[in-house]
Amino acid sequence: MSSDVVRELPRLIIEHVTPELDAGRYPAKRVLGDVVRVQADVIKDGHDLISGRILFRAAGEAAWKDSPLSYDYDNDRWSSEFRVDRLGTWEYTVEAWPDPFGSWVSDLKKRLQAGQDVRAELLQGHAILKQILKHRPADSSSSVAALVTSLADPSAHLEERLAVAFSDELWSLTQGPAAPDELVRYPRVLELLVEREAACFSTWYELFPRSQSKEPGRHGRFSDVEDRIPELAALGFDVIYLPPIHPIGQTHRKGRNNAFVAQPGDLGSPWAIGSAEGGHSAVHPELGSLADFDQLVKTANDFGVEIALDFALQCSPDHPWCREHPDWFFVRPDGTIRYAENPPKKYEDIIPINFWCADAESLWKACLDTLRFWIAHGVKIFRVDNPHTKPFAFWEWILSELRKDHDDLIFLAEAFTRPKRMKALAKLGFSQSYTYFTWKNSSWELNEYLTELTKTEMVEYFRPNFFTNTPDILHEFLQSGGRPAFRIRLLLAATLAPSYGIYSGFELCENRAVAPGSEEYLNSEKYEIRQRNWNQFGNIKPDIARLNRIRRENPALQRLDNLTFLSTEYDKVLAYHRALPNNHIIVAVNLDPNRMHECMIHMPLEAMGLREDQMYELEDLLTGIRYAWRGRRNYVRLDPSDKVGHVFRLLRGR
């Protein structure tokens, strides 16, 4: 082996860098203002010390910034942090090197403490410094040359030489690798996707515009949605999500309650997109005009609310694309276009798109242009319908293209599918995702699922949006649990996840299914207009407003990575701790909508900075009542007819 080969071999090992997804294939995610903690294993033979740093920069910046690594003996890991202050892509990596001067200083201190004669060691330090100076700029070398010389001067007092050895000037000089070939850089430059705060913390309300009219029998308009914005903003919602607002096809139109054949006057499903009046870039004429939509967006923004649109890539048989580009669809041998099927179910009012057709390039560009059209009309949030049924390569391309010019877009994946598909969509660029929360109702299910979301690698890229219900999902828990069930699920959604949403009617505790064993609503809004009295008796709007205010006022409820489940002495009561410095939230929820339960919960005293014998004061943010507790075990009594849970905030210890 030649000496050149030996010099090129690394002096140490850098591995297990976090965050890192799939060997750097995908970016981890953060939001603007986050502090990013980077960790790594840095390993070297022998007892010499190691130094290192992280390098980081926003995409497009030529120069790297750096932050020194520090060592944690307990977990044998190196770490450092940096703050992201720009939207878009960031890059980071890790560098490390042997630290001969630091090793020498550490050894010198030990010898002095042992009372040894260290004059020979001072000569060794002088030799190390001379070697380092060879690789430093001339001006910096000359400024410390006298110091280096005095270190080896036998005529100088020992105390003077030691003062030089421990001086800040020498410490500053020796930062960085002693020689260029001693520097080791992690072989991958990793990426972060930095999005705005709403990508992590947001509160969604889903409504059908056509159901917003106050006049019985009249089709709702955008102006009717405008009329509801002040109330929804006051309730604490910052995103209003609209199902497709486009023209609806006539061919094979569905009737009420998903009837296979429509009757005269039936409106059809908004997801059967496209008619002679236009496709994905048009609005249903009964909703109003594009100018009316623009006014809706402006009014919403004036109240601090954003309008989110459904991006559903499927077509009615009447969609202009079917006529202009029949090759974009799946064509049967008999020349007809194939409609959507999920055997034995048939959806003849919807035609799926063939994203790998011969003219895929034009098709993909048309989809991109559609999104750009709505972005130009002020939409920055999109809920994407069934993204797992379209190519992942398509989504990665289209999201990347859009973020080149718009780094403030947010995409919610409606992907109720297998876990690995959901994770893949999140990795390749979706900001948020629907989840399995709707079907998690027991203590062990919630604990297991939230632990996966918050304590595994998923926390780096998967942002859950806990919708309590959707137009397709009315869970049996809500069907049978009455008003308490709605209050329980609201409390869980609002305090377990930074982003959550409700579909309209939830606040009225609507719980009638189309048939036993079904999760479909009776008289579903997907197929007809539903007009409601939003202030009817028994509504839970006060709960919603109070919880959304609590969420806004407590930063601990605005993050995903700070959840810890607490021990309770009965499994029908779920308790958990959400914490940031100076903001400790304890939530206790009765998971049974039919019975009162009481039990002891075990408080996380160490995490709250409290002693075992210490009194402390909590305020229930739901009621304003204050409690004085002591020690770890404390009593709660939760009656679903009145109080389904507590949201405690630690006020102070006594």
pLDDT tier for residue 134 given thresholds of 50, 70 and 90: confident
pLDDT tier for residue 338 given thresholds of 50, 70 and 90: confident
CB 653 within 8 A of CB 618: no
Mean pLDDT for the stretch of residues 295-323: 97
Tens-digit pLDDT profile for residues 229-253 = 999 999 999 999 999 999 999 999 9
**pLDDT for 2:** 55
Buried b / exposed e over 159-182, threshold 16 CB at 10 Å, is eebbebbeeeebeebbebbbbeeb
| CB atoms near residue 519 (< 10 Å) | 17
CB 450 within 8 A of CB 496: yes
Mean pLDDT for the stretch of residues 334-342: 80
pLDDT tier for residue 345 given thresholds of 50, 70 and 90: low
**pLDDT for 148:** 80
DSSP state of 185: E
Mean pLDDT for the stretch of residues 268-277: 97
Residue 4 pLDDT exceeds 70:
no
- Across the strands, what pairs with 649? 585, 619
Secondary structure E strands in 85-227: 88-98, 184-185, 190-195, 202-206
Catalytic residue among 20, 310, 385, 543: 385
Residue 391 structure tokens: 């190519």
Residue 482 structure tokens: 């009455």
Q: What DSSP string describes 395-416?
A: HHHHHHHHHTT-TT-EEEEE--
**Position with higher pLDDT, 115 vs 601:** 601
Per mean pLDDT, which range of 3-12, 409-418, 437-446, 529-538 is the poorest? 3-12
Please name each of the domains of the chain with its CATH number.
Answer: 3-99+182-194 (2.60.40.10), 101-173 (1.20.58.80), 197-555 (3.20.20.80), 563-653 (2.60.40.1180)
pLDDT tier for residue 32 given thresholds of 50, 70 and 90: very high
Residue 179 pLDDT exceeds 60:
yes
Q: Give CA separation, 483 vs 110, 277, 436, 538, in Å.
A: 70, 42, 22, 8
Per mean pLDDT, which range of 77-91, 322-336, 455-469 is the poorest? 322-336
**pLDDT for 7:** 62
Tens-digit pLDDT profile for residues 389-398 = 999 999 999 9
Measured between alpha carbons, how far is 307 from 290 in angstroms, rounded to an integer?
Answer: 14
**Position with higher pLDDT, 426 vs 136:** 426
Residue 443 structure tokens: 């203590």
Whole-prediction pTM value? 0.94
The contacts of residue 504 (CB under 8 Å, 6+ apart) are: 205, 206, 207, 208, 211, 525, 532
Tens-digit pLDDT profile for residues 539-584 = 999 999 999 999 999 999 999 999 999 999 999 999 999 999 999 9
Catalytic residue among 99, 182, 310, 414: 414
Active-site residue flag, 414: yes
Active-site residue flag, 99: no
Mean pLDDT for the stretch of residues 199-210: 98
Closest alpha carbon to 388 in 357, 412, 415: 415
Tens-digit pLDDT profile for residues 354-405 = 999 999 999 999 999 999 999 999 999 999 999 999 999 999 999 999 999 9
What is the pLDDT of the chain when averaged over all its residues? 94
Residue 308 structure tokens: 């989110």
Amino acid identity for residue 134 in this structure:
K
- Across the strands, what pairs with 66? 55
Q: Give CA separation, 372 vs 139, 311, 409, 432, 551, in Å.
A: 54, 12, 11, 20, 33
**Position with higher pLDDT, 344 vs 484:** 484
Per mean pLDDT, which range of 115-129, 427-441, 544-558 is the poorest? 115-129
| Terminal-residue alpha carbon distance, the chain | 70
Measured between alpha carbons, how far is 473 from 282 in angstroms, rounded to an integer?
Answer: 28
Residue 499 structure tokens: 């982003």
Q: Give CA separation, 305 vs 27, 229, 381, 473, 555, in Å.
A: 29, 8, 11, 25, 20
Mean pLDDT for the stretch of residues 417-439: 97
pLDDT tier for residue 149 given thresholds of 50, 70 and 90: confident
Measured between alpha carbons, how far is 438 from 443 in angstroms, rounded to an integer?
Answer: 13
**Position with higher pLDDT, 588 vs 168:** 588
Buried b / exposed e over 593-625, threshold 16 CB at 10 Å, is beeebebbbebbbeeeebeeeeebebbbbbeee
Percent of the chain with pLDDT over 90: 81
Residue 601 pLDDT exceeds 70:
yes
Measured between alpha carbons, how far is 634 from 149 in angstroms, rounded to an integer?
Answer: 68
Tens-digit pLDDT profile for residues 252-266 = 999 999 998 999 999
Mean pLDDT for the stretch of residues 589-617: 96
Measured between alpha carbons, how far is 511 from 515 in angstroms, rounded to an integer?
Answer: 12
Per mean pLDDT, which range of 62-66, 160-164, 218-222, 430-434 is the poorest? 160-164
